[in-house]
Amino acid sequence: MRLLKFSILFVLLGAFGLHEYYVSVFRLSYNTQENQIQAEVKVFTDDLEQLLKTNDHIFFKMDEAVHSDELEESIQKELLNSFGYKDSKGRDKAITFMGYENEGDITWLYFTIDNVRSVTGPTLSINWMTDLFPGQVNIVHFFDGIDERSEFFSQEKTQIQFDFYE
């Protein structure tokens, strides 16, 4: 009986089309002692593989790949092309890709933004995977050391100024 119910549910969902979700989560934390923002991105591994494959990078299956310079270079290029940080005076800050960890279905990307003296009013630009997946949503949690702000970025909303105040 349970199998019959599951089969009917599966047929109904198939008839109306399954909705696919494309989401990545960015977590940024300001480290006041090091004047640095430490960041991580949680992304679905198959989405990252599709991004690398679509943009003509040397392609590896993430779960089979040994950490390689070529793979890290490809991931770094995509991250740097789709993430930007400007301080409150509108100056671009350099992003340093630190590496990645694959955990099967999820891959973590790590990067830093150095020489950040304050996070008062920074502007983030994120269009991570929005060209590949028009429905992509990027959720950002930004912790300034005291408070946390969360925002979402999409194909229509690629730039946000955060409202941290000292």
Q: Residue 62 above 80 pLDDT? A: no
Interval 140-159 mean pLDDT: 93
User: How is the chain classified by DSSP, letter by letter?
Assistant: -HHHHHHHHHHHHHHH-PPP--EEEEEEEEETTTTEEEEEEEEEHHHHHHHHHHTTPPP--TTTPPP-HHHHHHHHHHHHHHEEEE-TTS-B--EEEEEEEE-SSEEEEEEEE------SS-EEEE-TTTTT-TT-EEEEEEE-SS-EEEEEE-SS--EEE-----
pLDDT digit string (tens) for 78-117?
Answer: 999 999 999 989 999 999 999 999 888 899 999 999 999 9
pLDDT category at 126 given cuts 50, 70, 90 is very high
Give dist(CA 15, CA 154) in Å, integer. Answer: 28
| ∠ CA 114-119-124, rounded to 5° | 80
Q: Pick 14 or 136 by higher pLDDT.
A: 136
pLDDT category at 162 given cuts 50, 70, 90 is confident
* pLDDT of the residue at 163: 81
* pLDDT of the residue at 12: 40
pLDDT digit string (tens) for 5-57?
Answer: 434 434 444 444 444 779 999 999 999 999 999 999 999 998 999 998 888 77
In this structure, the strands spanning 23-31 and 137-143 are parallel
* pLDDT of the residue at 14: 44
Residues found in the chain: 166
Interval 131-158 mean pLDDT: 93
* pLDDT of the residue at 165: 65
Interval 131-150 mean pLDDT: 93
When computed from its CA atoms, the radius of gyration of the chain, rounded to whole angstroms, is 18
List the chain domain ranges. Answer: 20-161
